[in-house]
A and B are shown apart, each in its own frame.
Chain A
């Protein structure tokens, strides 16, 4: 934080703000940048521009404590997206008080936020603070912080007095549990991942996304019976007449996975083709269909599917995993694969968002 923070005595910042009697009370949603523009930049993956916008905002006059925190959250996110993890961590560390400090609560600044109480820390900032250590090589710190965040969220749910607020914290709880589950999965700690999926299922036993993901974890482990049961449960809870296109495709892709398990690649390809017909931008179906073709000895067509996807639906298909798969296929198909990968890499550089990881082409 800059010099506008309170001193050790907890006095409010001395900033040039308008006389509170003459101007409306400050809304904590009031921000020093244009929100729709910032969101547009974020949705287009233009994170360098986001950083610039935050830098400009930080130079404004009359910044209040909550402005600083939001700017910090956005900046830390943008830096993480640009893979500048140490810079992101350094910015958060520059807050020389923990996030639970009274300094970051509305009631510490009664003249700026009359009658308002609660923490002004954006929840995303807490998450980023937890996520960053593993990007810098200390995964155990991330896991500890995520579990501490889990505790925090749980106690907030119990405290909250309004329904809307409690619901918001419940969504955050699911978010944190899911993040932890992902962390355990990536590190192959499957029993922990399954235990967390169990927790999520207790809250929502019929969520199709959750049931599918349970199936994926079970398939990754090799528990084919378990996965079959999870997928079957999903289909029973959401019968065929009542599905959206998205759900229909989810069910179709799960069926395809069951074919892949028994190496019936032709049947899997047919399922994926139906998905692609319903939704030409179904990247999971496109990617997995290509893999099936390769496993059926049809390397040429597998490459065509992935190249075609990048050409037809670039914003959906431009995905690091898909690119890794395509480059693996290039390495198999061409002795001189350096050239074709370079062509791909150049195209990506023109089209990809700022946060696209270029190392996936393995050049």
Chain B
């Protein structure tokens, strides 16, 4: 797929540019041309060996791969295009490499590498050749090669001057490889040959992130999607947290149950994201490096960090990208934390039971006094668990960072699975109503008859 470059070279030029993209080669599986077989499988019934009485020489005649040819000149043989030596050879992977057969696609983060050959296909020498190669994008021109300081003295008739250029692709969109040659032709006329090769750079990946808080932990989920036409091997995906955070990757070790320990190390499944829309997810726990209690807020303006991603394709062809900064999403840190500590294991219908709760003051000042009650809640559903006795419990003020444990007396009026819901705290002094405790499920039994 080396091309006559677009932009046309007029036929009165001695020189012409030939260009070939030099991404790494690939392994060729030769199954399209070879269909290697065991002659025994071709010439004998598949159940031939069921009969042990068959003359072994007859079989040998057919199946032995080292049998010399009946006709002379066994040098001229294409035996290896017909006869399989080892059944594993059906994999058709001899290790033969093939050069890239098409220009392919180019993606941000890859290295564009190209073989450029300046050919003199005329009958005359070309002298004092100044060759330049540069990449032009919408934003800039990047010089890759310039022989102005030491021009190529001569390219003889039928000769060539070759070079290889490399460029790390850091921009999206249209790119043009511009090759120019300034030279003296056979008539000592100074000629100028420009040739252009256009390509477009696309985005190979997208990274979608989500920050979640579950109980006291903050989690970062990242989903990497592959937009290229190749499978991408994720060589390294690293989350680099900003200074005030640490990040630990959470992953399952799926293959650790390998029965055969000999092969285990060899066959750790690589992280391979499929072409054209395949995805892979990564999960991290984010923790604050600042130890102070109550300071570890992850709010909307805090920068968590960024991802550095290195992927590889055939024979290790690398690509590298880093994401933009990832921000945390806001969570509201509650001033007062209400927690259900324990519930009795057996709860009997219409028999009062006690639950233990704790209230924690997560601020740096004294709060309270408080009232604790069950609020009706949003739904109009009938409630089957209610406070038994005094409907409003009063709790004394609570100093900064302190906790208090208290009991609530409840009674269930319905059988089966029920919910304790709507337990709410009200700060009397600040007139602040806090969100109710999340629902807790209980099982209400009838009287046991033992």
Contact = CB atoms under 8 A, between A and B. Distances in A.
Interface of A: 27-29, 31, 35-40, 42-45, 66, 69-70, 73-74, 77, 80-81, 106, 116-124, 126-128, 131, 160-162, 164-165, 168, 171-172, 174-176, 178-179, 181-183, 185-186, 188, 190-191, 194, 197-198, 200-202, 205, 207, 209-214, 216-224, 226, 229-230, 233, 253-254, 257, 260-262, 283-284, 287-288, 291, 294-295, 297, 299-300, 315-316, 318-322, 324-325, 328-329, 331-336, 353, 355-357
Interface stretch (B30-38, B242-250, B361-369): B30-38
A123 B82 CA distance: 15
Given A77-B42, A334-B119, A168 B99 contact: no
Interface in B244-282: 260, 262-263, 265-270, 272, 275
Given A29-B54, A213-B88, A222-B317, 17 more contacts: A74-B42, A122-B46, A172-B41, A182-B29, A185-B91, A191-B269, A194-B269, A209-B89, A219-B27, A220-B314, A222-B233, A222-B235, A288-B96, A291-B25, A295-B164, A331-B1, A357-B33
B45 A121 contact: yes
B216 interface: no
Contacts of B20: 328, 331-332
A107 B16 CA distance: 73
B115 A28 contact: no
B417 to A, nearest CB: 44
B76 to A, nearest CB: 6
Contacts, number: 314
Interface in B88-108: 88-99, 101
Contacts of B272: 190-191, 221
B52 A162 contact: yes
Interface stretch (B57-65, B138-146, B418-426): B57-65
Nearest to B317: A222
The 5 A-B pairs at the shortest CB distance, nearest first, are namely A118-B47, A222-B312, A222-B233, A178-B90, A174-B87
Contacts of B51: 116, 118
B70 A36 contact: yes
A122 to B, nearest CB: 6
Interface centre among B16, B88, B311 (most CB of A within 10 A): B88
A332 B117 contact: yes
B39 interface: yes
18 contacts: A28-B48, A29-B44, A36-B61, A39-B62, A74-B42, A77-B42, A80-B35, A119-B45, A124-B41, A160-B50, A162-B50, A183-B31, A221-B270, A222-B317, A226-B268, A315-B76, A328-B101, A333-B18
A123 B46 contact: yes
A287 B314 CA distance: 18
A300 B156 CA distance: 15
Contacts of B164: 295, 297
A263 B86 CA distance: 32
B43 interface: yes
A118 B50 contact: yes
A162 B47 CA distance: 11
Contacts of B48: 28-29, 118
B65 to A, nearest CB: 10
A118 B52 CA distance: 13
Contacts of B268: 226
Interface in B59-79: 59, 61-62, 67, 69-71, 75-79
B96 A332 contact: no
Contacts of A230: 266
Contacts of B232: 222
A323 to B, nearest CB: 11
Nearest to B50: A118
Given A45-B78, A284-B95, A320-B30, A40 B69 contact: yes
A229 to B, nearest CB: 6
B163 A297 contact: yes
A197 B260 CA distance: 14
Contacts of B176: none
A182 B93 CA distance: 8
B409 interface: no
A127 B267 CA distance: 29
Nearest to A295: B22
B231 interface: yes
A29 B70 CA distance: 18
Nearest to B22: A295
A288 B95 CA distance: 9
A175 B84 contact: yes
A139 to B, nearest CB: 12
A171 B31 contact: no
B313 interface: yes
A44 B76 contact: yes
B329 interface: no
Interface in B264-306: 265-270, 272, 275
B360 interface: no
B220 to A, nearest CB: 26
Contact of B90 (A179, A222, A260): A179
